[in-house]
Amino acid sequence: MKVLEQFEFLDDVRRMDARQVIYQFLNFCMIVASALMIWKGLMVITESESPIVVVLSGSMEPAFYRGDLLLLTNHHDEPIRAGEIVVFKIKGRDIPIVHRVIKLHEKEDGTTKFLTKGDNNRVDDRGLYAPGQLWLKREDVVGRARGFLPYVGIVTILMNDYPQLKYAVLGCLGIYVLIHRETN
């Protein structure tokens, strides 16, 4: 017990009995489950596979900067129109791209093909598409920008750039939840 005495903050843990330890652990699981539920719930409501994205490049400046957060929806009954900001995926690339639709052709049966461009880019996105691909189709779209929140996503970018930071933050949160004793 000598070692433990040096860490005053562990007093809470020491005073716990087995029942309380289990309780704390379940509490922790609950938080993880709630976060997952919120994310999955948003996916259902927005019909988008990723309802929140962080802007990773400067191609839409000055509208969106690196680290800004976008809220997306992907309702399939709403047609895509020129001028809209869409988030799309290109075959063979993992990272989705946020750009604006500048040209669109829609057939009688509703199938569309369209071309995108970043506001801050001088040329359209044909160079970014897969080799030989000239147009995007509806199924390439992951979501359409509906809401905007500045700066918030910078945390995600930092965590991706410095993975140690991610583990540190997650570790601290986990330890806090596990050893912090509910006062009752």
Partner 1 sequence: MAVLTFMCFLSTYYNDDLADVNIKVGSVQVKNVADFTTTRERKDLAIINNLGVKVDLSQVFNWNVKEIFLYLTAEYSSDVNALNQVVLWDKIVMREDAQRIDIPSVDPEYYFFDDSKGLIGNENVTLTLSWNVIPNAGRLPRVQGLGSTTVKLPSTYAHSSGRI
- Which residues are known to be catalytic? 59, 99, 125
The smaller minimum CB distance to partner 1, of residues 24 and 97, is found at 97
Contact 126, 115 (CB under 8 A): yes
Interface with partner 1 (CB under 8 A), residue from 1, 92, 107, 127: 107
The smaller minimum CB distance to partner 1, of residues 150 and 171, is found at 150
Report, in Å, the least distance between residue 17 CB and partner 1. Answer: 38
Interface with partner 1 (CB under 8 A), residue from 75, 81, 93, 137: 81
DSSP codes joined into one string, 131-158 = TT---EEGGGEEEEEEEEESSTTHHHHH
Interface with partner 1 (CB under 8 A), residue from 82, 170, 173, 175: 82
Residue 47's region, left for phi above 0, alpha for psi from -120 to 50, else beta, is left
Q: Which of residues 17-76 bind partner 1 (CB under 8 A)?
A: 62-64
- DSSP-derived secondary structure letter, 4: H
The angle, 0 to 180 degrees and rounded to 10, between the axes of the packed helices 163-179 and 18-46 is 130
Residue 106 found at the interface with partner 1 (CB under 8 A): yes
Stretches 10-18, 38-46, 144-152, 160-168: which one binds partner 1 (CB under 8 A)? 144-152
Interface with partner 1 (CB under 8 A), residue from 56, 98, 104, 136: 104
Contact 84, 117 (CB under 8 A): no
The smaller minimum CB distance to partner 1, of residues 56 and 85, is found at 85
> CA-CA distance, 50 to 39, in Å (whole number)?
9
Residue 127 found at the interface with partner 1 (CB under 8 A): no
> Beta-carbon neighbour count of residue 157 at 10 Å?
14
Contact 142, 88 (CB under 8 A): yes
- Contacts to partner 1 by CB under 8 A: 62-64, 81-85, 100, 102-108, 119, 124, 126, 134, 145-150
